[in-house]
Amino acid sequence: MIAASKLDGYGIGRTTTPVFGTNGGKKYIDINGYGMYYGYVRSTDGNIYSCSVEVIDLSKTRYNRKNNYCNRTVTGINCAKNASVSYTCDSGYTYQNGECMKVVPSTETKYYNKSTYACYTFATNGTFHTCSKITNQNKCTSTSGCSWNGTSCSGTGGYCDPGFTKFDASCKKVSYNFASNSKKSLTSKCVPDDGVCSSSESRDKVTCSYSNSIYSCSLGKLSNNQCEITVAPKPSYSCASGYTLVGDKCYQYNVKYCSTGFSKVSSNYDYSFQESTDENVTTCAVEGAFTCNESNYEKSYTTGCEEIYPPQCPDGYRDEGDGHCLYNS
């Protein structure tokens, strides 16, 4: 027996390890069901005394008055299944990755390096041979403006070498040729021309060498220098036996049996739950729940579970304000 003046604290709970009040409290009480409980008393000198008791009647102890309740209310669910769908493409198209596609040749534009050579006149100077320079009698007498006086050639004439023509007091040889340097450009239109370069006609010389090609599409997108044209496929819907196709959904008319968790409210495809259901359980899952319009046909689900306190404790108990009822002993 410990004197009251020597009492420092006491505790009652399921643990075999002593537990006392916290935050300056003297007591710790946790009796919330049937089973073995352990009690501890601590004196001011630090000694701890223990005992145990088995609770077999909660009517004389303390219990948790909280219960879990779930509520489910669903009405008028449209019980349609998504129809099976297959896709077809028009002639010339193939079905690939959800699209119809065909490949057609692209438009090729070739580009050329164009070189243009202009025609130029070239004049070469030569030597004018005067009469006094001629030593051959026959050459002298055959040259205009020259005469042979028996020992030498004299006169005001003279001659030019073959291919040269006298201009004033000199000889010149005239030729026509294309310039070695050309004007160059990159173009998609280039017509080669050998050109003419003479005293009677002058025409530029043009050469063309292939550079590269650029490909384009009037329809579709360019891929590997070809045009890929894609269009949406044509869907074809179908239903299993016993269902009726409406648009892209399958309906069951005039059914005789409803899936578990549903009640039959009409002779067509309109099903619903019971008006409302309250169950004292921790979860409320409905087997075979229909939410077809969201593509979750026959998917189970749980709705709103919450902890609900009974309105009051039974007679003979008092409400401790923390969700427990304690027997008034």
233 and 102 belong to one structural domain: yes
**Joined tokens for residue 327:** 């027997």
* Radius of gyration of the chain measured on its C-alpha atoms: 58
48 and 94 belong to one structural domain: no
Residue-range definition of the domain harbouring residue 173 = 107-216
Let me know if residue 296 belongs to a domain.
no
Let me know if residue 76 belongs to a domain.
no
Does the structure show a pLDDT above 90 at 180?
A: no
52 and 93 belong to one structural domain: no
pLDDT, residue 234, reads: 93
**Domain boundary, last residue among 186, 216, 246:** 216
How do residues 104-135 score in pLDDT, each as one tens digit? 999 999 999 999 999 998 888 998 999 999 99
The answer to whether 173 and 160 have CB atoms below 8 angstroms apart is no
How do residues 268-299 score in pLDDT, each as one tens digit? 333 333 333 333 322 223 333 333 333 333 33
Integer Cα distance of 314 and 49 in angstroms: 34
Specify the DSSP class assigned to residue 285.
Answer: B
Q: How many CA atoms lie within 13 A of 200 on its CB side?
A: 0
175 and 125 belong to one structural domain: yes
| pLDDT range class, residue 243, cuts 50, 70, 90 | confident
**Joined tokens for residue 36:** 């073995």
With a CB cutoff of 8 Å and minimum separation 6, the contacts of 323 are: 64, 65, 66, 309
Cα 239 from chain centroid (whole Å): 33
Let me know if residue 138 belongs to a domain.
yes
The domain tally of the chain equals: 3
45 and 126 belong to one structural domain: no
Q: Strand 263-264: give its sheet, edge to edge.
A: 77-78, 270-272, 263-264
* Mean pLDDT score of the chain: 75
133 and 211 belong to one structural domain: yes
Let me know if residue 154 belongs to a domain.
yes
189 and 46 belong to one structural domain: no
131 and 175 belong to one structural domain: yes
pLDDT, residue 33, reads: 66
